[in-house]
Amino acid sequence: MLILVAASLHLRHVPRDVGVPDLGPPGSRDRLAAGLARCQALGMKADGDPACAAIWTENRKRFFAPETAR
């Protein structure tokens, strides 16, 4: 149980000094798609990449956003 808690806290942590990359206007998915493809190509190395963490955060926000917010 302690390992699960530690792992979840570790995965939730995003360094504060990492800015969200410019992904273009909210309607544009091209830059987000390109960033996701780059992170996919990195494979396991993407876990330590702050840019990938920011891109995944933005992707989750867009995925879980209500339809009216899009």
pLDDT in tens, 28-56: 567 888 899 999 999 999 998 999 999 99
The percentage of the chain sitting over the pLDDT mark of 70, rounded to a whole number, equals 63
Return d(Cα 44, Cα 49) in angstroms, integer.
Answer: 10
DSSP letter (8 states) at residue 70: -
Return d(Cα 23, Cα 3) in angstroms, integer.
Answer: 35
- Give the global pTM: 0.52
pLDDT at 2: 79
pLDDT at 30: 77
Cα 15–Cα 40–Cα 44 angle in degrees, nearest 5:
65
Return d(Cα 55, Cα 50) in angstroms, integer.
Answer: 9
* Crossing angle (nearest 10°) for helices 30-42 and 50-64: 130
